[in-house]
Chains A and B, each alone.
Chain A
Amino acid sequence: MKRSLALAMLLALSLAPSARAADEADYKAAYAAAEAASKEAAGLRNQWTVTVSALAAAKKAADGGDFDRAVAAAKEAEALAQASLFQAKTEKEAWKAMEIR
């Protein structure tokens, strides 16, 4: 019984998400993904101000050594950039629905 409990705990621990603090490599990966999506949106002339702000916040946090915050801001920037890309792509045709005819 004791043995199986120990095994169950070990299994639970191994499956639990790691709660380690983010490091510079995590930040760099998250920032690169966000920056790529942001550049694509800018290329479509559909950049959002909030994406730019989130990217700047990520960089500022990383410069201050707070990689947890930097990764969170970079992920937010990527989500915003992806939303602006979705908007740009759907609006290619969707704008016609608003037209006065």
Chain B
Amino acid sequence: MKQRATILLGSAFVALAALAFAATRVVAADKVDPVADAKAFQNFFFQKFPDVKHEDFVNGPYSMNEDMKRQWQEKEEFPPYEFALDAGKEMFSTPFKNGKTYADCFPNGGIGIRQNYPYFDTKEGKVITLELALSRCREANGEAPYSYVKDEMASLTAYMAYTSRGKPMDIKIPDDPRALAAFENGKRYFYTRRGQMNFSCASCHVQSPGERIRAETLAPALGILNAMPIYRSEWSGMGTTSRRFVTCNSQTRAVPLEPQSDEYRDVEYFLSYVANGLPISGPGARP
């Protein structure tokens, strides 16, 4: 009788221990851990493309294809984004009607700060992208906001990116559950399939970088935003990060969200954070 009770007690203890172990695993799986995510994300690409120098991932399709890379390097002698860069520099230094400039809205006068965007604003509880900050700067100074998908915004962000070239992406996630939720929401958006084509961002930029989709060579997701904004030959013009997201959604036959919607801001936060340490290469040029 005593032996039976001992066996029963032992079994109950083992069952409880197993339950506790399983519960811990569930909690661990659900815990938002941006540091671990970024490490896993970078390792995935480093292992998948062992011959690509880590800092080269920011050059998108050119990091995947030697021929394209050589053509691009020649093109960089007279880069197609040069006009946008000049325009952006002039816009940046031209005072608003009230006499202030963009420099008054940003730390360090807006020079060499691209690598810190987007950031999480703990007062507002939301992600603030560079495009959004520029738009708010204009509005705060009595100017009409620019479209997030057109040339003026691309020119301004091109100039600001240029002043940060080579600086490692340095996105912070504060110890704030809302910031972690934004990161997680961005991650969810990135991996979620949408549109009639049933594609997620990851379908192209994680599963198939270096492969062709029609005539295009797909860029790796790692460092994809470090090159923004970009001149795209396909668009015959410059494109902002907002334009890139909108176009990607349309191509999968999903109705795009509003530029700078929470989802787009969050996915920019996620993608930028996992590229921490890789250099800013914007403005970029793409086929």
Contact = CB atoms under 8 A, between A and B. Distances in A.
B100 interface: no
Contacts of B263: 45
A100 B44 contact: yes
Contacts of A47: 254-255
A91 B255 contact: no
Interface stretch (B81-89, B125-133, B191-199): B191-199
Interface string A78-101: 001001100100010011101111
B132 to A, nearest CB: 19
Given A47-B254, A49-B255, A50-B253, A101 B196 contact: no
A42 interface: yes
A35 to B, nearest CB: 15
A57 interface: no
Given A87-B193, A95-B193, A100-B40, A52 B255 contact: yes
B191 A96 contact: yes
Interface string A43-67: 0011111101000000000000000
Contacts of B192: 91, 95
A95 B200 contact: yes
Interface residues of A, number: 20
A46 B254 contact: yes
B196 A99 contact: no
B194 A91 contact: yes
Given A48-B255, A52-B255, A100-B40, A87 B198 contact: yes
Contact of A91 (B187, B193, B203): B193
A8 B121 CA distance: 78
B185 to A, nearest CB: 11
Nearest to B274: A100
Main secondary structure of the interface of A (DSSP, over half): helix
B233 interface: no
A99 B41 CA distance: 9
Contacts of B194: 46, 87, 91
A87 B196 CA distance: 9
B254 A49 contact: yes
Nearest to A91: B192
Contact of B188 (A52, A87, A95): A95
A52 B255 CA distance: 9
Contacts of A101: 40
Contact of A48 (B188, B207, B254): B254
B248 interface: no
Given A45-B257, A49-B253, A94 B193 contact: yes
Nearest to B41: A100
Interface centre among A46, A80, A98 (most CB of B within 10 A): A98
Contacts of B200: 95, 98
Contacts of B44: 100
Nearest to A48: B196
Given A98-B202, A100-B206, A50 B257 contact: no
Interface centre among A52, A99, A100 (most CB of B within 10 A): A100
Contacts of A80: 196
B188 to A, nearest CB: 6
B73 interface: no
Interface string B15-47: 000000000000000000000010011001000
Closest 6 CB pairs of A and B: A47-B255, A95-B191, A95-B192, A98-B191, A100-B44, A49-B253
5 contacts: A45-B263, A87-B194, A95-B191, A98-B202, A100-B41
